[in-house]
């Protein structure tokens, strides 16, 4: 599993570490020309404001629009 995280205070990094897997910093990924992630599962950990409206930070929202996700089906790799 790959976990992409955005944190300012460290809370989301703590959560990402608890989830485990390969941790990727969203700010570091955003410096790349293209963002391609390939894994069986990909999670995104970021602050959410106004939980009723499920609004993530604008920075994380831009990341979600930019990255290309390639999933690997465990059924197809056997």
For the stretch 13-62, pLDDT in tens is 999 999 999 999 999 998 988 888 888 888 999 887 766 555 667 777 78
Question: What pLDDT does residue 71 have?
Answer: 66
Tokens of 20: 């485990």
pLDDT of residue 4: 94
Whether 3 shows a pLDDT value over 70: the answer reads yes
Tell me the pTM: 0.75
Burial bucket for residue 49 (CB in 10 Å: 0-12, 13-18, 19+): exposed
Between the CA atoms of 71, 59, 46 and 10, what dihedral angle is there, to the nearest 10 degrees? 130
Query: Nearest Cα to 23, choosing from 40, 8, 36, 42?
Result: 42
């Amino acid at each position: 599993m790959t976990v992409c995280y955005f944190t300012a205070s460290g809370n989301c990094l703590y959560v990402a570490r608890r989830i485990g897997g390969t941790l990727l910093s969203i700010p570091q990924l955003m410096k790349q020309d293209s963002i391609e992630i390939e894994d069986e599962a990909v999670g995104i950990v970021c602050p959410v404001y106004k939980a009723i409206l499920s609004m993530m930070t604008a920075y994380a929202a831009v990341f979600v629009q930019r990255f290309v996700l390639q999933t690997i089906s465990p059924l197809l790799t056997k």
